[in-house]
Structure 1
Amino acid sequence: MAKEYLVVLFPRKRRVKLNNHFMGHTNTKLELEGGRYEVTLGQPINFTPESIPIDLKGTASLKPMVIEFQEVEE
């Protein structure tokens, strides 16, 4: 399966969960297998949306998929 690339943006460094498994940190490029993922962040739960569904395909190291979570006040 081809390697795909994802960057998850968030104002602070936070652990990134893909399909309920921690797979890296925000604001860094993650190298993953292509496919469908449910992306969310680790604690604390002070972000929106709660999760982002993606179909990771057609990326390159220099053109990763970029998704963003926003920080919210608790």
Structure 2
Amino acid sequence: LVLRNLKEIWTQVAKSGKGKKSKPVNKDHGISKMLLCKDSVTIVSQNPLIACKWRPPPCHPNSPPCFVKTCPLYLG
């Protein structure tokens, strides 16, 4: 199964100082392509250094090569 142009969204609560109340912050992360196969997930991104910023997948045939990372899928 191939999933394209995914957007992962989560809420993060920063550590607060003494007696201060921290507010939750909504964050997001874009994934250009994700491959689901058996019990693993393969994520394809253009550049691992900018993986935390949303960028659309390349459309031009002369675009730079992709980097691939495979990690186990937790089926809880």
TM-score clears 0.5: no
- Greater strand proportion: 1
**TM-score, normalised by the number of residues in structure 1:** 0.29
Q: TM-score, normalised on structure 2?
A: 0.28
> Which structure has the higher relative contact order (CA within 8 Å, separation 6+)?
1
